[in-house]
């Protein structure tokens, strides 16, 4: 057996993130981006965190649905670890965003609908984490957290994408009345870095999630040799 399973997507992840790290700093920028100036390069590092988080949390949501339709230890562990890593990405996005905002808008936290939505959404995922930590019985924990996750993900998406879009005012691009990032992109080369950035960063964090999942599966197998023989793990 190979020492590194699923090598192909890991290679793609490393190659694309490496490419993004180099060309994100090197490409030519559109000339008038207002107060953003050179910091518009954060589009390749801050924004992919949120996109990747949404993709990973969506994958976790699918796994939760699959667990509810056919209970299986694997699905529960996939869902919980993907959620953990998705939230890690979310926090990366949050802190980079606060740093960027401090240097652009003058304050780390503005009263923006997007920021408030994210704060509320993170708190809701805190509830998911609480269920994971507080329920001892495995079956109960898996079922409860799956149900919770199935409800929480659509709410989270509506809080961070739909509500800011509907709101009157937002300083985030593409929300409320403000212009989209596309309006800035006259040189037409930013998407050559931006789309690979979304894919690459997401895959890199999926790799971390895979490692955590396999670790948890090993732990579970060690603790439940008996249950294993009853074909709960397939």
Partner 1 sequence: MKKYYLTILFLSIIQGLMAQNETSVLRSSGKIYVVIGVILIIFFLVVLYLVRLDRKITKLEQTES
Provide the binding-site residues for partner 1, judged by CB under 8 A: 1-5, 10, 14, 17-18, 21-23, 25-29, 38, 187-189, 192-193, 207-208, 211, 214-215, 218, 221-222
Nearer to partner 1, 34 or 168 (CB): 34
Q: What is the closest distance, in whole angstroms, from the C-beta atom of residue 49 to partner 1 in the complex?
A: 15
Within 10 Å of residue 126's Cβ, how many Cβ atoms?
10
Nearer to partner 1, 166 or 218 (CB): 218
Q: Half-sphere exposure of 98 toward its Cβ, with a 13 Å CA cutoff?
A: 10
Q: What is the closest distance, in whole angstroms, from the C-beta atom of residue 17 to partner 1 in the complex?
A: 7
202 burial type by CB count under 10 A (0-12 exposed, 13-18 middle, 19+ buried): buried
Nearer to partner 1, 25 or 130 (CB): 25
Nearer to partner 1, 99 or 207 (CB): 207
User: How far is Cα 80 from Cα 66, in angstroms, rounded to an integer?
Assistant: 13
Nearer to partner 1, 26 or 35 (CB): 26
User: How far is Cα 5 from Cα 8, in angstroms, rounded to an integer?
Assistant: 9
Q: What is the closest distance, in whole angstroms, from the C-beta atom of residue 50 to partner 1 in the complex?
A: 20
Q: Which residues contact 113 (CB under 8 A, 6 or more apart)?
A: 163, 164, 167, 169, 170, 175, 176
Q: What is the closest distance, in whole angstroms, from the C-beta atom of residue 3 to partner 1 in the complex?
A: 5
User: How far is Cα 58 from Cα 67, in angstroms, rounded to an integer?
Assistant: 14
CA distances from 233 to 67, 70, 77, 216 (A): 12, 11, 11, 13
Q: What is the closest distance, in whole angstroms, from the C-beta atom of residue 41 to partner 1 in the complex?
A: 8
Nearer to partner 1, 120 or 233 (CB): 233
Closest to 150 in 3D by CA, of 139, 138, 142: 142
Q: What is the closest distance, in whole angstroms, from the C-beta atom of residue 149 to partner 1 in the complex?
A: 25
């Amino acid at each position: 057996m190979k020492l590194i399973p699923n090598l192909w997507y890991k290679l793609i992840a490393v190659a694309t993130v490496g490419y993004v790290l180099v060309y994100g700093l090197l490409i030519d920028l559109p000339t008038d981006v207002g107060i953003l100036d050179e910091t518009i390069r954060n589009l390749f590092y801050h924004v992919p965190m949120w996109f990747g988080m949404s993709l990973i949390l969506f994958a976790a949501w699918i796994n939760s649905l699959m667990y509810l339709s056919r209970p299986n230890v694997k699905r529960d562990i996939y869902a919980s670890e993907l959620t953990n890593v998705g939230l890690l990405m979310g926090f990366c996005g949050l802190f980079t965003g606060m740093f960027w905002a401090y240097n652009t808008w003058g304050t780390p936290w503005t009263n923006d609908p997007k920021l408030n939505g994210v704060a509320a959404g993170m708190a809701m995922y805190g509830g998911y984490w609480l269920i994971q930590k507080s329920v001892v019985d495995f079956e109960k924990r898996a079922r409860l957290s799956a149900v919770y996750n199935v409800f929480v993900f659509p709410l989270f998406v509506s809080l961070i994408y739909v509500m800011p879009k509907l709101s009157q005012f937002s300083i985030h691009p593409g929300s409320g009345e403000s212009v989209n990032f596309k309006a800035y992109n006259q040189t037409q080369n930013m998407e050559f870095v931006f789309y690979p950035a979304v894919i690459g960063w997401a895959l890199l964090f999926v790799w971390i999630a895979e490692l955590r999942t396999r670790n948890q599966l090993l732990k579970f197998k060690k603790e439940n040799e008996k249950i294993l023989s009853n074909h709960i793990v397939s």
